[in-house]
Structure 1
Amino acid sequence: MSLRLVVVVVLAFAISLPIAALSIAKALLFVAALIVLIRENFKVQPKENHTSSLSLKWILASLALWTISLLWTKATIDDALVALVKHGKLMCIPLLVFLIRSHREAAIGLAALASGQAVVMVTSWLMAANIPVFWITRPSGPADPLTQYVPYADSYLDQSIMLAVSAGIFWQLRESQPKLKPVTLLLTLAALLNVLILMPGRTGYVLALSTACLAAIFSVPRKLRVVTILVMPVLLALAAYHTVPQFKQRVQLAAQELVHHRSGPDVGSSIGARLYMWKLSADAIAKAPLLGSGVGSWSTVIKQLHGAGASLIFGEGNGSNPHQEILLWTTELGLAGLLLFVGLLTALLIDLRRFPT
């Protein structure tokens, strides 16, 4: 196995591991890409030129504007540089594409990702069944009810989102690995149920139901897809609401939070806090619509707009964010950032269509 493929497999599996392991894997990705690039530059006939990737150009343009915005950022230079490094992780996308050279290698990387998520999912179910798992450590004392079944991720939201997406990957693998079809179907169901039953994240619920809907839509004949699109989301949501107690409780809580928020900003609730952050983000964008307030400045400008007591809501330091990438980019880079964000997503879709299947 080549160095390229080893790094791809390590990174794909590390996505399911604690953040320290993932950070090391990302560093290895950058080092490996540099080594491969140097090697190929010394070859008489270098391999395919990957710089033609459209998404790479948009990522570089985005990082360039993030860097230039250091000139006008309202954040401290330390906070701005930390944010710039975080945005630099976007380079992981083209670097992975650069290292993967064939359909077979892509399949191996996908299998590594699916394997890591399968480990997380099985571990979570074992924890729910009170079966000891020696490969993770838990803090002493009573378990946090929100994260008691989260083995590695930073939060229940991270795990629920990753498992909902992984359910879609497991579902797709049933076609490419027909001998493992019963296993992939079981993993798909187990991942979706893990999100709906064990995880309290409502974003995860939306993604899990969306994954199930997409699986149903593309499994029926074309003439039935319109009906499936209209009916399946309602049926699945009603089924989850009436059969999964936690799902019902969290949906009812969401409705209550929305009602409370209408009477005034309710920053004490999850939905209320997000809606309030989005409102302040819109206010910040209105103050600097063209080029924004600079890299790493979201927390700074939002706290200024809120006024006294902002740290009680958004926390100390500069670690808070709007939980919405479009608002983050537009707040810090203005309309230019919005165009870059939309352009990057479009470029990724275009590049995706270029890949051989």
Structure 2
Amino acid sequence: MALPRVLRCCPVALWALLLFGSFIVGLTYNSATLQEGLAMVNKYRELFFIPVLMGFVSTERFRYWLWNAFIIASIATLLGSSLMDAGVLELNKLGDPCFKSRITHSIFIAFFAFFCAHKAFQEQRYRPLYLIAMAFCLYNLFFVVQGRTGQLVIIGLALLFAWQRFNGKGRLLAIVVIASLLALFVNFSDKTSRLKEGIENTQAYLKPVPEQVDSSMGLRYGFWKNSLILMSGKPLLGYGTGSFTKEYQRLVGDKAFATTNPHNEFLMIGVQLGVLGVLVYVGFLWSQFQCARQLAKPEKWLAQGLLLCLLVTSVFNSPFLDHAEGHWFAILIALCFAPIYKPGVPLCKDSPPISRPSLCRH
């Protein structure tokens, strides 16, 4: 019953529903089977969950409990990873010390580190606990799991945090400290193999005659190139919902590794729904940027950090296509932007930032 008012009050909810609707419209002209198309619609159902969840977390009380659930789940994820690394628990099927893939794990932990950093500034009573949790996250990201996507996300979030919390001199100092720590890590740590491998793969792929095209980054660049070729064939509306796998296989044949995921959300949407679909996704991202400005601090800062996390992840992965990432982003987007929706009182464009009690009161 709350859905119509949620859509009127919060552009993020409206754009999420428009994007989900675009996938449904794409069923009418897809080159794949109806079953494949419906399976893809089901993959992106998290977009529909965003406006629905906003109606359920419209009150501060519910958001308070959900934020605490986020903290508990994140700590449990960190502890599980540490126990796997220590040999107490078995590694996952990929041989990594985390419950899901290292990509998924690193994204979750990077945002939790950003969350803890803000809470350390905000909550004086629990500041030592949040600082310990943040240090635990950073150690896990760079010395235990080493997901490159999460490492890029945390670097971006660290710079964003400095911009949000410090003045001009503080921001400059933060940049120097971050750059120095990264330089020390790259030059003196024995845990940089994945990072160096990514740089070497990129350099090899960019040569006139590409080398190491079968590496993880080389394959990914090939996915992006072939996806752009597909988009050029039907640029406006794409090939329809669920068509990516079939069209990619048709393009590459037996010459190269056929994928079901280009590891880029923009390209995944672009091949299926064309430029119009990509514009809807950009509108969804832009609405988050605009709505974040209407929130009061610290909700504003967390929403901005989540948007940056989604942007970086969308470049190197397809977060809403993936099950764990899709549900995680849907819940946190609803949680971050739900304060804009106030039952019975729609927020007009000229309203001042919403004044809300601090998150996760203790």
- TM interval, short-chain normalised: 0.7 to 0.9
Match of 1:92 among 49, 71, 93: 49
Report the alpha carbon displacement of residue 162 of structure 1 after superposing the two structures with TM: 0.7
Match of 1:103 among 60, 63, 70: 60
Partner of 1:338: 278
Alpha-carbon distance in 2 for matches of 1:200, 1:296:
32
Q: Does 1:148 align with 2:96?
A: yes
Alpha-carbon distance in 2 for matches of 1:103, 1:232:
37
Q: Secondary structure at the match of 2:45?
A: helix
Equivalent AA in structure 2 for residue 235 of structure 1: S
Aligned 1:97-136 pairs, distance under 5 A? 97-130=54-87, 132-133=88-89
Structure 1 segments unaligned to the other structure (5+ residues): 1-36, 42-47
Report the alpha carbon displacement of residue 255 of structure 1 after superposing the two structures with TM: 2.4
The answer to whether the 8 Å contact 1:217/1:228 transfers is no
Partner of 1:169: 115
Partner of 2:261: 321
Alpha-carbon distance in 2 for matches of 1:348, 1:156:
26
The answer to whether the 8 Å contact 2:20/2:48 transfers is no
Cα deviations by residue, 1:61-114 (Å, 9 ceiling, x for unpaired): 222221121122122221111001111211222222211123343232112111
Structure 2 segments unaligned to the other structure (5+ residues): 295-339, 341-353, 357-362
Alpha-carbon distance in 1 for matches of 2:92, 2:51:
38
Aligned 1:218-237 pairs, distance under 5 A? 218-220=164-166, 222-225=167-170, 227-228=172-173, 230-237=175-182
Partner of 1:297: 243
Partner of 2:145: 199
Partner of 1:269: 215
Report the alpha carbon displacement of residue 146 of structure 1 after superposing the two structures with TM: 5.4
Q: Does 1:256 align with 2:200?
A: yes
Decide whether aligned partners of structure 1 residues 114 and 286 sit closer, same or farther in structure 2, where only a CA change above 3 A counts.
same
Q: Secondary structure at the match of 1:245?
A: coil
Partner of 2:290: 350
Equivalent AA in structure 1 for residue 273 of structure 2: L
Moved more, 191-200 or 230-239: 230-239
Partner of 2:21: 64
Partner of 2:336: none
The answer to whether the 8 Å contact 2:17/2:51 transfers is no
Equivalent AA in structure 1 for residue 124 of structure 2: P
Alpha-carbon distance in 2 for matches of 1:227, 1:255:
26
Alpha-carbon distance in 2 for matches of 1:353, 1:335:
27
Q: TM-score, normalised by structure 2?
A: 0.74
Higher RCO (CA 8 Å, separation ≥ 6 residues): 2
Following superposition, which runs of at least 4 residues in structure 1 exceed 6 angstroms of deviation? none
Decide whether aligned partners of structure 1 residues 227 and 175 sit closer, same or farther in structure 2, where only a CA change above 3 A counts.
closer
Q: Secondary structure at the match of 2:96?
A: coil
Report the alpha carbon displacement of residue 306 of structure 1 after superposing the two structures with TM: 0.8
RMSD: 2.4
Q: TM-score, normalised by structure 1?
A: 0.75
Cα deviations by residue, 1:103-129 (Å, 9 ceiling, x for unpaired): 343232112111101111022112222
The answer to whether the 8 Å contact 1:281/1:331 transfers is yes
Q: Secondary structure at the match of 1:179?
A: coil
Report the alpha carbon displacement of residue 307 of structure 1 after superposing the two structures with TM: 1.5
Alpha-carbon distance in 2 for matches of 1:266, 1:301:
25
Partner of 2:298: none
Decide whether aligned partners of structure 1 residues 125 and 100 sit closer, same or farther in structure 2, where only a CA change above 3 A counts.
same
Size of the aligned set, in residue pairs, is 294
Report the alpha carbon displacement of residue 229 of structure 1 after superposing the two structures with TM: 6.5
The answer to whether the 8 Å contact 2:96/2:145 transfers is no
Report the alpha carbon displacement of residue 286 of structure 1 after superposing the two structures with TM: 0.4
Alpha-carbon distance in 1 for matches of 2:54, 2:42:
20
Decide whether aligned partners of structure 1 residues 301 and 232 sit closer, same or farther in structure 2, where only a CA change above 3 A counts.
farther
| Higher radius of gyration, 1 or 2 | 1
The answer to whether the 8 Å contact 2:252/2:258 transfers is no
Identical-residue share of aligned pairs (%): 23
Report the alpha carbon displacement of residue 233 of structure 1 after superposing the two structures with TM: 4.2
Partner of 2:7: 51
